[in-house]
Amino acid sequence: MGVPRTMEALRERAAFMKDSLQKAQTITDNMVTILGSFDHRLSALETAMRPTQIRTHSIRRAHENIDKTLKAAEVILAQFDLTRKAEAKILRGPHEDLESYLEAIDQLKSNVQFFSSNKTFKISDGVLNHANQLLAKAISKLEDEFRTLLSNYSKPVEPDCLFDCLPNSLRPSSGSPNPQGDAGGKIPLEHQNKSIETIVFTLPTLIPPRVMPLLHDLAQQMAQAGHQQQLFRIYRDTRASVLEQSLRKLGVERLSKDDVQKMQWEVLEAKIGNWIHYMRIANFIVMLE
């Protein structure tokens, strides 16, 4: 009786386990089906979303490009605004405010450099042509201002002023001729032969100190613009005229060969001594520009 009951219990247990395994397999199959359905749906959703993702990416890139374009446009517009302000100052000329005028030229040069390095802009060539023409006009006005300032403040140096700058050994004695040099007296020979190199001079003021920085800034701008020759020519012509007037006041005469030959030897000898002396003075003082 005991063995049949044991076998019966084993059969029941085996049947239960088989039933449980079948249920588990059914559940597994159902889960696989559900998950497969999810995967299919997700794939379908991804396929459906793909165009949207592409459009979104394109929109994002377009937004970034628009943002970059706007920033570049802001920079260009700022350069245009600076150019406009600089142009207004340049057209007014340097007479009212020279410092502001020079700043406008520097700003215009900066704008030229900006558009020269960004020639991909369609407007670059036109802007560069306009800016370069404006710069040429500005430099031309600088030349006029330099010439005007130098001419207005370059005055002949009076003989008394020159003599006050000299040491006693080079000053005319009380019996010496006047600055126009008549034959009344001759500069002592020992004064003429004195070593000039050992003498310390007090130089006269040829141009007021307050004007020198302005002339320096004008000359610097002209040199940077490649107008060195024009600068030298203006300075030479203006200062040469003043130097000649100073020499005449000092007593250096312009005489022709015939004038010299007609002079009596005593008069000519006195004049020669004075000319040598005054030319030494001129060489070490008047010509020290």
Rounded to 5°, angle at Cα 254 from 251 and 258: 125
Separation in Å, CA 107 to CA 81, 87, 111, 246, 279: 11, 10, 6, 41, 47
Torsion of CA 132, 134, 138, 139, to 10 degrees: 20
Q: Both tokens of residue 235?
A: 């300075």
One digit per residue, the tens of pLDDT, for the chain of length 289 reads: 556 777 777 778 888 888 888 888 888 888 888 877 777 777 777 777 777 767 777 888 888 888 888 888 888 888 888 888 888 888 888 887 888 888 888 888 888 888 888 766 666 677 788 888 888 888 889 899 999 999 999 888 787 777 777 666 666 654 444 444 443 444 444 444 444 445 556 667 778 888 899 899 899 988 888 888 999 999 989 988 888 888 788 777 777 788 878 888 888 888 888 778 777 776 765 555 5
Q: Distance between CA atoms of 198 and 100, rounded to whole angstroms? A: 46
Task: Say whether pTM exceeds 0.85.
Answer: no
Neighbours of 239 (CB within 10 A): 18
Q: Distance between CA atoms of 114 and 128, rounded to whole angstroms? A: 10
244-247: long-range contacts, CB 8 A cutoff, minimum separation 24? 245/156, 246/156, 246/157, 246/162, 246/282, 246/286, 247/278, 247/282, 247/286
CA-nearest of 142, 139, 119, 140 to 129 is: 119
Which residues make Cβ contacts (< 8 Å) with residue 140, sequence separation at least 6?
Answer: none
Residues 98, 99, 104, 105: is their CA dihedral positive or negative? positive
Separation in Å, CA 162 to CA 157, 202, 234, 245, 283: 7, 9, 25, 13, 12
Q: Both tokens of residue 278?
A: 């005054």
Eight-class DSSP state of 121: S
